[in-house]
C-alpha cells in the first residue's frame, strides 16, 4: 500500500462515518506510528514475529497497533469459522492494510462446527447450558489458530482479551485484568498452560473499554467507536432456539413434556422442549403457582422439567469435569470460584477426585444458581486463575 490515497481509500472501504478533518488527523497519527515502525525495522533488522488474532474489532486492532508501535514484526490472522464470518474477515483485512501488515485467513469451518457448534447443541440436548466462547478459546482459537500462527513463523499469538499473564521461573500465572468488570480470564481458564506460555494480551493493563477506544483513536484506527459484540458469534441475532431448531432438529430438543414440582413430584403443566430451559430460569415457564417458581432440573432422559421455589434452588455441592490446571495444587484446598463470567466469586473447598475431576463445596450461598455445562473457574486470593472445568449435570 502506497501513499495517502490508499490509506484514505481503506478507511472509506471500511465504511466508518469519518469526516475529512478527522481523516487527516487519524492519518497523521497512523503515519507517525508507521514511520516510527519503519525506522525501528531498519535499525533492528530481523525482529520477533507476533501473530495477532484479528476480528476487525477495536480490541484486536488495538492489540496489533500496540505491538507494532513497540517495534515487533506483526502479522494478522483471522479465522473463517461459520457463515457469518465474512464481515470479520473483511474488517480484519482492511485494518491490516491500514497498518501495513500481512493478513492471513485460516479456513476452520469444519473444526469449528465439530468442536464448538455441535458441542453447543449437544449440551442443550443433555439439559446443560454451554459456554461456547470458553470452548472456542480452548479448542479453536488457542489451539488450531495457535498452531497456524506457529506455522507462519510467529513466536507468539496475541489476542484482544482483557486478562493479565506473567511467567516466572517457568510458572504461568493468568490473572484478572486491571478492571474486573472487563476481565476475560474466566473465558481463558480452559486453555492448557503450555499454550498460554505463548499467548500475549496487549490490553491487559487497560482499565476499561473507553481507555482502549482512546488508545485506538490515538493510533488512528477508524473503528475506535465500533460497538461491542454481545451475541454468540455464530448466532448474531441472539436467538439460540431458532438456531437449534434450524440446524439440530434431529436431537429432539423441542418435544413437549411434563413440568413437575420438586419434592411432591406433582405435574403442574407442560413444557415445550428441554432446550427452552436452563437451571435458575424464572421467566417464560408458562405455569401459575402461589409463589414464584424456578427451573431446578432439566431432565432430557425423562423429558421433564422440575420446578422449585427460591429457597430450594441453591446447590452448594457439585462436581466439575475436564479440569484444566494452570497452577499445581494439592489434593484439597480452599479457593474462590466463579460459575458464570459476570458473577462475583464465592469461597469454596475444592477436592480432587481425579486429576481432571473435582468436587466443589461452596462455603456460602452463590449469587446465582449453579448450572450444569457452564464453566467453573478457580481463583486464589490474589485473583490468579488456578484452573477451570465444566460443571457436570446436577443431581
Query: Which residue's C-alpha cell is 516466572?
Result: 168
- The string of pLDDT tens digits covering residues 55-80 is 999 999 999 999 999 999 999 999 99
What's the Rg (C-alpha) of the chain?
A: 23
Cα(11)–Cα(223) distance, integer angstroms = 9
- The string of pLDDT tens digits covering residues 253-305 is 999 999 999 999 999 999 999 999 999 999 999 998 889 999 999 999 999 99
- Other beta carbons within 10 angstroms of residue 8's beta carbon come to 17
Say what the alpha-carbon torsion angle 21, 207, 229, 74 is, to the nearest 10 degrees. 70
Cα(225)–Cα(217) distance, integer angstroms = 9
Mark whether 376 is an active-site residue.
no
Q: Residue 319's pLDDT band (boundaries 50, 70, 90)?
A: very high
Percentage, residues of the chain above pLDDT 90: 78
pLDDT value at position 32?
A: 57
Query: Residue 22 pLDDT more than 50?
Result: no
Query: Residue 46 pLDDT more than 90?
Result: no
Cα(35)–Cα(280) distance, integer angstroms = 55
Query: Residue 317 pLDDT more than 90?
Result: yes
CA atoms within 13 A on the CB side of 183: 25
- 79 in Cβ contact with 141 (< 8 Å): yes
| Bridge partners (DSSP) listed for residue 257 | 271
Query: Residue 370 pLDDT more than 70?
Result: yes
| Bridge partners (DSSP) listed for residue 258 | 270, 304
Cα(158)–Cα(141) distance, integer angstroms = 11
Could you give the strand order of the β-sheet that contains 267-271, starting from the edge strand earlier in sequence?
A: 267-271, 257-261, 304-308, 294-299
- Other beta carbons within 10 angstroms of residue 76's beta carbon come to 24
Q: Could you write out the DSSP letters of every residue in 162-192?
A: --EEEEETTEEEEE--SSTTT--GGGGTTS-
Residue 393 grid cell: 449435570
The active-site residue out of 233, 272, 308, 343 is 233
- 343 in Cβ contact with 326 (< 8 Å): no
pLDDT value at position 228?
A: 79
pLDDT value at position 35?
A: 59
- The string of pLDDT tens digits covering residues 138-149 is 999 999 999 999
Domains and CATH numbers, the chain: 3-218 (3.40.50.620), 254-312 (2.30.30), 317-391 (2.40.30.10)
Residue 146 grid cell: 495457535
pLDDT value at position 19?
A: 43
List CB contacts of 112: < 8 A, sequence separation 6 or more. 79, 81, 82, 136, 140, 234
C-alpha distances in Å from residue 238, one per residue of 151, 188, 212, 228, 343: 35, 22, 26, 14, 21
Mark whether 308 is an active-site residue.
no
Query: Which residue's C-alpha cell is 423441542?
Result: 254
C-alpha distances in Å from residue 249, one per residue of 84, 199, 273, 305: 21, 38, 11, 20
The active-site residue out of 96, 133, 136, 376 is 136
Query: Residue 207 pLDDT more than 90?
Result: no
Bridge-based pairing state of the strands 257-261 and 267-271: antiparallel
Residue 278 grid cell: 436452563
Task: Please name which of 52, 133, 131, 49 lies closest in space to residue 93, comparing C-alpha atoms.
Answer: 52
- Provide mean pLDDT across the span 335-339: 97
- 14 in Cβ contact with 93 (< 8 Å): no
- The string of pLDDT tens digits covering residues 344-367 is 999 999 999 999 999 999 999 998
pLDDT value at position 186?
A: 97
Task: Please name which of 225, 221, 226, 224 lies closest in space to residue 30, comparing C-alpha atoms.
Answer: 221
CA atoms within 13 A on the CB side of 365: 8
Average pLDDT, the chain: 89
Amino acid at each position: 500500500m502506497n501513499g495517502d490515497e490508499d490509506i484514505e481509500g481503506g478507511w472509506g472501504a471500511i465504511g466508518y462515518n469519518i469526516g475529512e478533518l478527522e481523516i487527516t488527523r487519524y492519518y497523521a497519527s497512523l503515519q507517525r506510528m508507521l514511520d516510527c515502525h519503519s525506522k525501528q525495522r531498519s535499525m533492528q533488522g530481523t525482529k520477533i514475529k507476533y501473530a495477532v488474532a484479528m476480528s476487525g474489532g477495536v480490541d484486536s486492532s488495538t492489540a496489533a497497533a500496540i505491538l507494532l508501535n513497540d517495534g515487533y514484526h506483526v502479522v494478522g490472522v483471522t479465522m473463517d469459522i461459520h457463515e457469518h464470518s465474512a464481515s470479520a474477515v473483511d474488517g480484519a483485512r482492511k485494518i491490516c492494510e491500514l497498518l501495513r501488515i500481512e493478513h492471513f485467513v485460516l479456513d476452520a469451518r469444519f473444526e469449528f462446527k465439530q468442536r464448538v457448534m455441535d458441542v453447543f447443541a449437544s449440551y442443550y440436548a443433555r439439559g446443560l447450558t454451554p459456554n461456547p466462547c470458553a470452548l472456542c478459546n480452548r479448542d479453536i482459537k488457542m489451539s488450531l489458530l495457535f498452531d497456524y500462527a506457529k506455522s507462519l513463523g510467529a513466536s507468539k499469538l496475541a489476542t484482544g482479551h482483557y486478562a493479565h499473564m506473567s511467567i516466572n521461573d517457568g510458572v504461568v500465572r493468568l490473572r484478572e485484568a486491571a478492571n474486573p468488570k472487563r476481565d476475560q480470564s474466566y473465558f481463558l481458564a480452559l486453555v492448557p498452560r503450555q499454550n498460554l506460555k505463548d499467548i500475549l494480551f496487549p490490553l491487559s493493563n487497560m482499565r476499561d473499554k473507553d481507555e482502549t477506544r482512546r488508545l485506538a483513536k490515538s493510533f488512528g484506527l477508524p473503528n475506535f467507536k465500533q460497538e461491542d459484540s454481545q451475541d454468540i458469534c455464530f448466532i448474531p441475532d441472539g436467538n439460540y432456539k431458532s438456531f437449534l431448531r434450524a440446524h439440530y432438529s434431529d436431537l429432539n430438543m423441542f418435544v413437549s413434556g411434563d413440568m413437575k414440582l420438586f419434592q411432591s413430584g406433582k405435574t403442574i403443566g407442560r413444557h415445550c422442549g428441554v432446550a427452552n430451559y436452563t437451571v435458575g430460569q424464572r421467566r417464560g415457564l408458562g405455569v401459575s403457582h402461589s409463589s414464584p417458581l424456578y427451573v431446578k432440573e432439566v431432565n432430557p432422559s425423562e423429558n421433564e422439567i422440575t420446578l422449585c421455589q427460591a429457597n430450594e434452588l441453591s446447590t452448594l455441592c457439585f462436581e466439575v469435569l475436564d479440569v484444566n490446571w494452570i497452577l499445581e495444587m494439592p489434593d484439597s484446598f480452599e479457593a474462590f470460584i466463579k460459575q458464570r463470567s459476570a458473577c462475583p466469586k464465592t469461597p469454596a473447598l475444592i477436592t480432587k477426585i481425579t486429576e481432571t475431576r473435582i468436587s466443589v463445596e461452596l462455603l456460602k450461598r452463590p449469587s446465582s444458581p449453579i448450572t450444569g455445562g457452564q464453566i467453573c473457574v478457580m481463583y486464589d486470593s490474589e485473583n490468579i486463575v488456578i484452573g477451570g472445568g465444566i460443571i457436570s449435570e446436577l443431581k
